[in-house]
Structure 1
Amino acid sequence: MTSYRLGVLEGDGIGPEIVPASVLVVDAALAAAGASPAEWVDLPLGAAAIDTHGDAVPESTLTALEGLDAWLLGPHDSAAYPEPHRSKLNPSGTIRKRFDLFANIRPAKSFDGADAVVPGTDLVIVRENTQGFYADRSTYKGSGEFMPSPDVAIAMGIITRPAVERIAVEAFELASRRRGRLTIVHKANVLKLTTGMFRDVCREVAARYPDVAVDDFHIDAMTVHLVRRADDFDVIVTENMFGDILSDLAGEIAGSLGIAPSINASHERAMAQAAHGSAPDIAGRDVANPIAMILSSAMLLDWLGARHQDPALVQAAALIETAVAGTVRGGTRTRDMGGTAGTRAFAEAVAAGVKR
């Protein structure tokens, strides 16, 4: 059995609560699946790292990540950092750029026994993570956002064929393993050259996957379709900013942003990161919903299992997903889902479910 070295970066706000909760569940799942225990490596990041290392993402942390198989990243509250740290690229962005984590995979799945705007939602948004219309991802170095005068602000949006092609392949591979349907989201009626290229390159890649049914929608129309009939969609592929917006919307449609997981991945490395933020207003109160982080960790195990052809890790991921759904269905829920369970108690209930 292979043993994996996994990084733990708790981050800010509720991170020191939901990340340890996820470690607890992962340990239980690996044991239940007969896999080797993970070797957890704690690394400084965020406000605490500014205090101890003078940087929100110390170079020692980045160097250590290079030697790990994958890692769990808690949320960060970079808007609250003191200057000059607040104006720097945020911690998750720094790590994504360092390791070229080009694919942001964000599922949205409703739970039986929990409120959802569209019950039966079960979709995955595949978001290109390195380019698009966010300025911090438009250039190799520096920012694609600048002001030539005090009254003029300019932002660049970058779309390249190689980046679109590799995210399209990820999306089609995923759709071929799921229900065989893929939706391309763009704004080619207005952004003809940039998102028009995104749509067209995805269509070219579609020719390699004749068993996957393909359609496409403008971003504004897609928001309406998700609210009305999210349960009709399977895999959605889109550029960076559109994917960010749609995945938050889809998380709420499925029941709560607190249940929205994600991983950021390249072909060589992956990072589990819940789609939600650091929620500083509830930090330290044991009321945060750890589902998104727990399910992100399950996605990470599944990614590692596929990459290393390790069925025990794939089984551990499936055990976590089943246990989370069973825990919610059985009535144990956190406050945002209408329940009373605390963060730790919910994680312990999931870990117990995994063992059963």
Structure 2
Amino acid sequence: MPVNEPSTGATALAIGVMHGDGIGPEIVPAAVAVADAAAARAGFGIEWRELPFGASAIGTHGTPIPGETLDALSGLDLWVLGPHDSAAYPVEFAGDLTPGGVIRKRFDLYANLRPSRALPGVAATAPGIDILIARENSEGLYADRNMAVGSGEFMPTPDIALSVGVITRAATQRIAHEAFRAAQSRSKHVTIVHKANVLRLTTGLFRDVCREVAADYPDVRVDDFHVDAMAAMLVRLPEQFDVVVTENLFGDILSDLAGELAGSLGVAASVNCSSRQAMAQAAHGAAPDIAGRGIANPVAVIGSTAMLLRWYARRAGRADVRGTADRIDAAVAATLAAGVCTPDLGGSATTAVFTDRVLANIADS
């Protein structure tokens, strides 16, 4: 893909892009086109470095996550990842870590940030919802993230299955700081989610360390909920929450719930990040049942790409990049408000029609 040269001398961004499986090759190019257009309006260019990944990489490289892809990612700060359908890979890959998981683990992308906000034109169960879930992404109750070698699940006999959950002070501290920093630019309220009444040592440690970190942010209000109560409260009173910080499995479940309350997982954006690198990755899956039909919803991956640019703008002090992210979000919101949406949101627009309308809104902004 050609490099877009910046028109005002601003530094171009180099972003790795992996289209992925299923609807990925349809929605990721939409995000690329939208980001290109918005960046051009701000006077800088983006160099997209397409990298082999997923089912297509199995055909060309014999693996869904080639070494050359990982090597290329090492030299980049920003990446856009399409969805992967690892369940459909050949049987020899069945026991492997998913390709997205390989990236997260290799680069220690310890924070998964998942906002859920009702959008104009999208029928939301909770129209007032506007929260950010800061999900610890490197340990917790997910077995594939708990052992240096192998998995945290094991079977001493064919009839007994065990799983090891891991919570550490260091990992909890860094996700807590991520959550509190985010809250300072939002409504200054953090909710810690745990299950310390039952998992006293593990999620109790998570709760207590988050409260210790809270002392560094005296301007932020803090409360905490058990995860089951939190699920109920999200349905009943989502407006009372701002930033939610929690461990891996709880964060995965609660963010999917919040995404549906906001209207659909099809609009649920997400980034995985460390303090140095970030990857845009929509919260939804590869949707192989609609792949190739031209009706996939690109909102989530476009929103994830805007989040990626906003993450970079904060780190680099780039007002032009932040303005680009804002322009993308505004163009998507205007498109949805005009009633232009894909069939999953009740509309009739194709992926291309929706993308073209977003591009037109960017051109008019």
User: Could you say whether these structures have the same fold, taking a TM-score greater than 0.5 normalized by the shorter chain as the test?
Assistant: yes
Q: Secondary structure at the match of 1:71?
A: strand
> Deviations for 1:144-199, whole angstroms, at most 9, x for unmatched residues?
11111111111100000000000000000000110111111000000000000000
Task: Tell me, in whole angstroms, the C-alpha distance in 2 between the residues paired with 1:268 and 1:111.
Answer: 30
Task: Tell me, in whole angstroms, the C-alpha distance in 2 between the residues paired with 1:174 and 1:53.
Answer: 40
In the alignment, structure 1 residue 66 sits paired with structure 2 residue 66: no
Are the counterparts in 1 of residues 24 and 286 from structure 2 also a CA contact under 8 Å?
yes
> Deviations for 1:204-223, whole angstroms, at most 9, x for unmatched residues?
11111111111111111111
Structure 1 residue aligned with 2:211: 203
In the alignment, structure 1 residue 5 sits paired with structure 2 residue 18: no
> Deviations for 1:7-49, whole angstroms, at most 9, x for unmatched residues?
1100000000110000010001101122x21111011111111
Q: How far is the alpha carbon of 1:113 from its aligned partner?
A: 2.4
Structure 1 residue aligned with 2:298: 290
Q: Secondary structure at the match of 1:5?
A: strand
For normalisation by structure 2, the TM-score amounts to 0.96
Structure 1 residue aligned with 2:341: 333
Structure 1 residue aligned with 2:26: 17
Are the counterparts in 2 of residues 4 and 69 from structure 1 also a CA contact under 8 Å?
no
> Deviations for 1:117-140, whole angstroms, at most 9, x for unmatched residues?
010211100000000000000112
Are the counterparts in 2 of residues 11 and 73 from structure 1 also a CA contact under 8 Å?
yes
Unaligned 5+ segments in structure 1 are none
Task: Tell me, in whole angstroms, the C-alpha distance in 2 between the residues paired with 1:311 and 1:92.
Answer: 30
Structure 2 residue aligned with 1:144: 152
Percent of matched pairs sharing the same residue? 59
Q: How far is the alpha carbon of 1:86 from its aligned partner?
A: 2.0
In the alignment, structure 1 residue 322 sits paired with structure 2 residue 330: yes
Amino acid at match of 2:338: G
Are the counterparts in 1 of residues 11 and 45 from structure 2 also a CA contact under 8 Å?
no
Structure 2 residue aligned with 1:89: 97
Aligned-residue Cα RMSD (Å) equals 0.8
Structure 2 residue aligned with 1:79: 87
Give the alignment partner of residue 353 of structure 1, picking from 329, 344, 361.
Answer: 361
Q: How far is the alpha carbon of 1:308 from its aligned partner?
A: 1.1
Say which is worse superposed, 319-328 or 165-174, in terms of deviation. Answer: 319-328
In the alignment, structure 1 residue 100 sits paired with structure 2 residue 139: no
Structure 1 residue aligned with 2:196: 188
Say which is worse superposed, 289-298 or 144-153, in terms of deviation. Answer: 144-153
Unaligned 5+ segments in structure 2 are 1-9
User: Where does 1:158-197 land on structure 2 (aligned, <5 Å)?
Assistant: 158-197=166-205
For normalisation by structure 1, the TM-score amounts to 0.98
Amino acid at match of 2:91: E
Q: How far is the alpha carbon of 1:64 from its aligned partner?
A: 0.8
Give the alignment partner of residue 217 of structure 1, picking from 225, 239, 244.
Answer: 225
Give the alignment partner of residue 276 of structure 1, picking from 284, 287, 292.
Answer: 284
Q: How far is the alpha carbon of 1:311 from its aligned partner?
A: 0.9
Q: How far is the alpha carbon of 1:141 from its aligned partner?
A: 2.2
Instruction: Figure out how many residues of one structure are paired with residues of the other and give that number.
Output: 355
Task: Tell me, in whole angstroms, the C-alpha distance in 2 between the residues paired with 1:231 and 1:310.
Answer: 31
Q: Secondary structure at the match of 2:79?
A: strand
Task: Tell me, in whole angstroms, the C-alpha distance in 2 between the residues paired with 1:70 and 1:141.
Answer: 27
Task: Tell me, in whole angstroms, the C-alpha distance in 2 between the residues paired with 1:183 and 1:159.
Answer: 18
Are the counterparts in 2 of residues 9 and 72 from structure 1 also a CA contact under 8 Å?
yes
Are the counterparts in 2 of residues 7 and 71 from structure 1 also a CA contact under 8 Å?
yes
Q: How far is the alpha carbon of 1:50 from its aligned partner?
A: 0.7
